[in-house]
Homo-oligomer: A and B are copies of this chain.
Amino acid sequence: MMPVRAAVAGANGYAGMTLVNLLALHPGVELCQLTSRSFAGQPYRAAFPLLELEGRFLDEVDPEGVEVVFGCLPHGAGAGRAADWLRAGCRIIDLSADFRLRDPSLYPRWYGQEHAHPDLLAEAAFGLPELHAAEIAEARLVAVPGCYSTAAVLALAPAAAAGLIGSDVIVDAKSGISGAGRSPGLGTHFSELTESVTAYAIGGHRHLPEIRQELARLAGASPRITFVPHLVPMVRGILCTCYFDLVGSLDQLRAAYQDFYADQPFTRVVERTPPTKLATHGNRCLVAVDAQDGRAVVTAALDNLVKGAAGQGVECFNLAFGFDRTEALRSPDWWP
């Protein structure tokens, strides 16, 4: 079988680099174009010194002969290009926020501008395979969710679907610094961040409407959610700690989670509260279900660059192109 000819747009950010490193070992993929504004014209090895990948970075994807484009461009930069790529016959696995929200009115509010192609929103599949595998398999356009959204939705979906959330929900999220991207700034500066934890975006983070949208689809309506992200001094990993009043018993809640994820290859209910390190360097999401005095405390851990971005993108690609869902995603666990 001929490998699928793939392009990666925005290949030198952390999601793009992770994607390239994963796809380089995918037996069904030929990486035929990588784009990067800052590396345009330079050989691939300038950014990937260990990969045996010949060629030079392009400035833009040339969709001719490309079957799938993985979009890792900044938010807003990809929506216009996506329409062109689709017109040229490509399918798209998009890792930006551009097609995640189905309601066009949310873009001006959360992203400060009208959506460039609101007509495409209806057909975009939300790229969370635990919830939307069938749609992803058929879609021309897959919108891979945000890293926090993936963790929070996977932490809450079974409870929401089973009607076991009896109150508002607090999601207190902790993320490694790679979630802030590769662009330098005081917000990613080693000496400012090491030995420190801080909350940010208390007024409202862009992943919140994604979380609401998905929980509403599961439960009819989303519970009221307060979501506060924190930066912790580590590279990879997200932990979401979710609090809500229990409807029913803790045993019922646990059973709901076990059932919901029984056949999932990557999301697992674990007995002990997971340290994020157990989930990083792989496409896992580990969920633990517990309670304190009648209040459920559900934690979910994943690697923000893998299950929270590039790995989930490969998972969606596998579904969309008929590969085994775990292809190129079975790598060794690393501990410590």
Residue in B17, B174, B202 whose beta carbon sits within 8 Å of that of A232 in the complex:
B174
Q: Complex Cα distance A329/B281, Å?
A: 15
Q: How far is the CB of A216 from chain B (nearest CB, A)?
A: 16
Cross-chain contact A292 with B193 (CB below 8 angstroms): no
Q: Complex Cα distance A299/B202, Å?
A: 10
User: Is the CB of A192 closer than 8 A to any CB of chain B?
Assistant: yes
Cross-chain contact A197 with B14 (CB below 8 angstroms): no
User: Is the CB of A264 closer than 8 A to any CB of chain B?
Assistant: no
Residue of B nearest to A184 (CB): B184
Q: Which of A194, A239, A290, A295 has the most CB of B within 10 A?
A: A194
Q: Complex Cα distance A202/B190, Å?
A: 23
Residue of B nearest to A275 (CB): B198
Given the known A-B contacts A191-B235, A273-B202, are A332 and B297 also in contact in the complex, defined by CB atoms under 8 Å?
A: no
Q: Complex Cα distance A281/B196, Å?
A: 12
User: Is the CB of A22 closer than 8 A to any CB of chain B?
Assistant: yes
A contact residues, range:
35 or more
User: Is the CB of A258 closer than 8 A to any CB of chain B?
Assistant: no
Residue of B nearest to A167 (CB): B168
Cross-chain contact A192 with B230 (CB below 8 angstroms): no
Q: Complex Cα distance A224/B295, Å?
A: 10
Can you list, as one digit per residue, whether each of A68-90 has a CB less than 8 Å from chain B (1) or not (0)?
00000000000000000000000
Q: Complex Cα distance A281/B280, Å?
A: 12
User: Is the CB of A112 closer than 8 A to any CB of chain B?
Assistant: no
User: Is the CB of A222 closer than 8 A to any CB of chain B?
Assistant: no
Chain B residues with CB under 8 A of A195? 176, 194-195, 234-237, 276-277, 280
Chain B residues with CB under 8 A of A293? 204, 224, 226
Q: How far is the CB of A196 from chain B (nearest CB, A)?
A: 3
Given the known A-B contacts A230-B174, A280-B195, are A51 and B203 also in contact in the complex, defined by CB atoms under 8 Å?
A: no
Cross-chain contact A188 with B191 (CB below 8 angstroms): yes
Q: How far is the CB of A54 from chain B (nearest CB, A)?
A: 17
Q: How far is the CB of A116 from chain B (nearest CB, A)?
A: 28
Q: Which A residues contact B (CB, under 8 angstroms)?
A: 14, 17-18, 21-22, 24-25, 48-51, 168, 170, 172, 174, 176-178, 182, 184-186, 188-200, 202-204, 224, 226-228, 230, 232-237, 239, 241, 243, 268, 270-278, 280-281, 284, 290-293, 295, 297, 299, 301, 328, 330-336
Additional A-B contacts beyond A177-B194, A189-B190, A228-B292 (7; CB < 8 A): A18-B335, A49-B278, A50-B284, A174-B174, A174-B232, A197-B234, A198-B274
Closest 5 CB pairs of A and B: A196-B277, A198-B275, A184-B184, A191-B336, A172-B172
